[in-house]
Amino acid sequence: MVLVLAVGLTAVVSLALGYGLALLLPPPRADQAPEPTPLAAPRTTAHNPPAPPPARPAPRPHPAIRWPRSLGPGSTVAVVATGSRVREDYLAAGVQVLEGLGLKVKLGAHVLSSSGGRAGTVAERCADFERAWRDQAVDAIWCARGGHGSAEMLDRLDWSVVGTRDVALVGYSDVTVLQLALFRRHRLVSISGPMVASDHGLGIPGGAPLDTRRLVLQWLLRPGALPAAVRPPRGDTPTTVRPGRAEGFLLGGNLSRLCDLVGTDFLPDFSDAILVIEDVNETPESITAMLDRLRRAGVFGRVNGVLLGDFSTCISRAELSRVVLACLDGRDVPVLSGFPYGHLDEPRATLPIGAWVRLDAYAGTLTAYE
């Protein structure tokens, strides 16, 4: 099964998720499977050649990964806090969204706890996280928010429990460290998408954009099987920094949190990987330093391609591209910039961290295979 992520707007956005999971697009019949609609080719520039070579055949699904099981009406979601303190009003609003979609919600015992700006002590956060993985009734684990603190849990968690069931871990930003550790330890795909009670999540005033909610739920309903192109109405076109096509494991997330794993045994091997990164509220100097840290750690020397998400509050797209190319040290791998992923208020992509994907920097698309 194939999914294509792209940029734009479709009429299916008019579906109201608040009416429940049953109103989402039904899976296509085998004899009527729609063709994925790719993103229109970018305008021809020095970095966007007008005549790419023919596409290679689609890669075979990679056997060495585990996808989380699908959700359905009545599925149970555990909401836990692994990082910064959670606002009670945001949490209540986010839980209301989940329940309105027909999901049952179990709150972690310490989800509203507070200790030094964190959502409880590290022991309390670890206990809630492990309890959710042990609970056979829990079908997905959805993080309340990011912030800071998830990395403090890594060497304190029982990894013989965490990640041993085919359960989706949903979150991004600070949750990046847990998602990459899950892939390193158990080869489990996780869902990098909006959280329940974060500033860009389900519980923000007015709610997350409809497209954003729809994207993450389609992953959870049918992991790896989004039936058509997703077209968030941003108006931006991803920029081809270096043309080409490549396949690999989609690994990365928030750049700052990824760098927290350098030098630890929780950092995955980036051989045969498509590196995806985003960040928010960092200086250009900080972004440059973190990218060079990944270079010195050998990440840029191993990856098959690079997908750059949103850095609009950090560094210009042109400067970011220049630094990334310098970190690649002349390696001829595809690089695509400006993908709608990260700390965005407007609709943004939800990505399957750890999935086997194809990056097409000619067409500006990312395709995941199951």
Both tokens assigned to 346: 């407007």
Catalytic residue among 75, 150, 173, 321: 173
282 a catalytic residue: no
* Distance from C-alpha of 196 to C-alpha of 210, rounded to nearest angstrom: 14
Backbone angles phi, psi at 254, to 5 degrees: -75, 130
200 a catalytic residue: no
Chain centroid to CA 66 = 16
Burial of 230 (C-beta count, 10 Å sphere; 0-12/13-18/19+): buried
Catalytic residue among 124, 130, 247, 278: 278
Q: DSSP secondary structure string, 147-199?
A: SS-GGGGGGGS-TTTTT-S--EEEE-GGGHHHHHHHHHHH-B-EEE---SSST
- Cα distances from 52 to residues 42, 236, 275, 303, 334, in angstroms, run 12, 21, 22, 21, 12
Contact (CB, 8 A) for 307 and 336: yes
Sign of CA dihedral 128, 105, 250, 300: negative
Contact (CB, 8 A) for 142 and 170: yes
| DSSP conformational letter for 45 | B
User: Both ends of the chain: CA-CA distance in Å?
Assistant: 6
173 a catalytic residue: yes
Closest CA to 80 of 150, 129, 149, 130: 129
| Range list of H helices, the chain | 88-100, 122-134, 176-186, 210-221, 255-260, 284-296, 317-327
Catalytic residue among 150, 190, 247, 343: 343
Closest CA to 187 of 197, 179, 198, 175: 179
Buried b (16+ CB within 10 A) or exposed e, 158-184: ebeebbebebbbbbbbbbbbbbbbbbb
- Catalytic sites, residue numbers: 173, 278, 343
